[in-house]
Structure 1
């Protein structure tokens, strides 16, 4: 019968509080669901995009919120005799990792990373090099060259000569796409590609005078 559960499936309840209003939904899941899959399902039900970091909690019998970050914690929560209740909380932006160009950023979807691009690379000639590539528009493949993307996305006007500052680029890592559509902007052409397993978008660009050592006390562009 349609909608009837079998031995491999179960019902959970998920909650989210947004602007003081709590919404709850019942979700049909596999009993052996993995943590990443559960997070995806709950994000989908509450329309929480991957540019937002989240925390997942299990609400236990004492109405305490128990953080769920490992598979064994999820297994214990799903083993409850009652309908398991989970709560998803959107986190404020946190910098998960820091890199220096030309390192390629790594992480999981939703992570926020920062990349230091030194002055010597912040030129139009460097962005237009034939040996660097970028794929996509707005959302780019994770291995797209950062300087080329900077120019293409119009986040910064690159000069002909190295400027008197370095730049700190804040990226939000996203899931991969089935297709990336290239385009031409600011004289930079990005390419079509797909599928690919990870993406990023540029959230912000900050500049730091070259002599400054405190890179994170800087100005947004």
Structure 2
């Protein structure tokens, strides 16, 4: 089937017709639209469907996409780049710094994204769901089940979005998927994981890391 895709950049709107399978999945549609409009994966996006009243209806679940594709007319989708609201950035193994409420993005390169690194005895993490801000991010990624770490370095990097929170009087350690975090407290600064997204290794990011 044919859909129409739109994107506005620098005040100008471009539209393309794209041939897609009627059973296309949300991540596949996102990939096609990013590719057609050259939107890198370091940028957060939202997808919208323009309904019969020309209202922008957000599409974030598979059933919402399925309903949009049932339209008798050519469905119109719009991809919107979300404004970047990040207080600071760092590159693993740097410790994220800031004040409670800050959003911090951490670039983790492929070489670190292995289960063996998460199981290392010389790295530590304290807490469950809410972690001390000096907790090792690789351990936390595995412990929180936000990502499945492979045995070998994957063909991508990841960008982890953290939200800094006030410290806790007590952090409770647990074991999840073979990764153990420790109990501790009090401590003056915490974080939670808000998002994890993959980016191609060969893609230049705003962290200015160029992998060979």
Using the size of structure 2 for normalisation, the TM-score is 0.57
CA distance in 2, matches of 1:93, 1:214: 13
Q: Map of 1:57-96 to 2, 5 A cutoff?
A: 94-96=85-87
Equivalent position of 1:106 in the other structure? 97
Task: Give the Cα–Cα distance (whole angstroms) in 2 for the partners of residues 195 and 214 of structure 1.
Answer: 36
C-alpha displacement of 1:214: 3.4
Q: Distance in 2 between matches of 1:100 and 1:168?
A: 9
Q: How far apart, CA to CA, are the structure 2 residues paired with 1:149 and 1:175?
A: 18
Compute the displacement of 1:186 (Å): 1.3
- Give the Cα–Cα distance (whole angstroms) in 1 for the partners of residues 204 and 85 of structure 2: 21
Q: Which residue of 1 is the match for residue 121 of structure 2?
A: 130
In the alignment, structure 1 segments of 5+ residues that lack a partner are 1-91, 217-221
Deviations 1:125-179 (A, max 9, x none): 0000000000000000010000000000000000000000000000000000000
Task: For 2:116 and 2:145, locate their aligned partners in 1 and report how far apart those are by CA, in whole Å.
Answer: 15
Deviation at 1:215, TM superposition (A): 5.7
Let me know the Cα RMSD of the aligned residues: 1.4
Q: Given the alignment of the two structures, is residue 184 of structure 1 paired with residue 175 of structure 2, yes or no?
A: yes
- The structure 2 residue matched to 1:211, chosen from 202, 205, 211, is 202
* CA deviation after TM superposition for structure 1 residue 207, in Å: 0.3
**Bigger Cα Rg:** 1
Cα gap change, 1:193/1:93 in structure 2, threshold over 3 Å: closer, same or farther? farther
Alignment partner of 1:161 out of 152, 164, 169: 152
Q: Which runs of 5+ in 2 are unaligned?
A: 1-82, 208-212
| Poorly superposed stretches of 4+, deviation over 2 Å | none
For 2:108, the equivalent position in structure 1 comes to 117
Paired residues of 1:93 and 1:112 also in contact (CA < 8 A): no
TM-score scaled by length of structure 1:
0.55
d(CA) in 2 for partners of 1:114, 1:145: 14
Q: Using the TM superposition, give the Cα deviation of residue 93 of structure 1 relative to its aligned residue in structure 2, in angstroms.
A: 7.6
Is it true that 1:145 corresponds to 2:142 in the alignment?
Answer: no
Contact 1:208 1:215 in 2 (8 A): no
**Number of residue equivalences:** 125
Structure 2 matches for 1:41-56, cutoff 5 A?
none
Q: Deviations over 1:176-209 (max 9, x none)?
A: 0000000000110000000000000000001011
- Does the residue aligned with 1:125 lie in a helix, a strand or coil? helix
Return the alpha-carbon distance in structure 2 between the equivalents of residues 122 and 215 of structure 1: 20
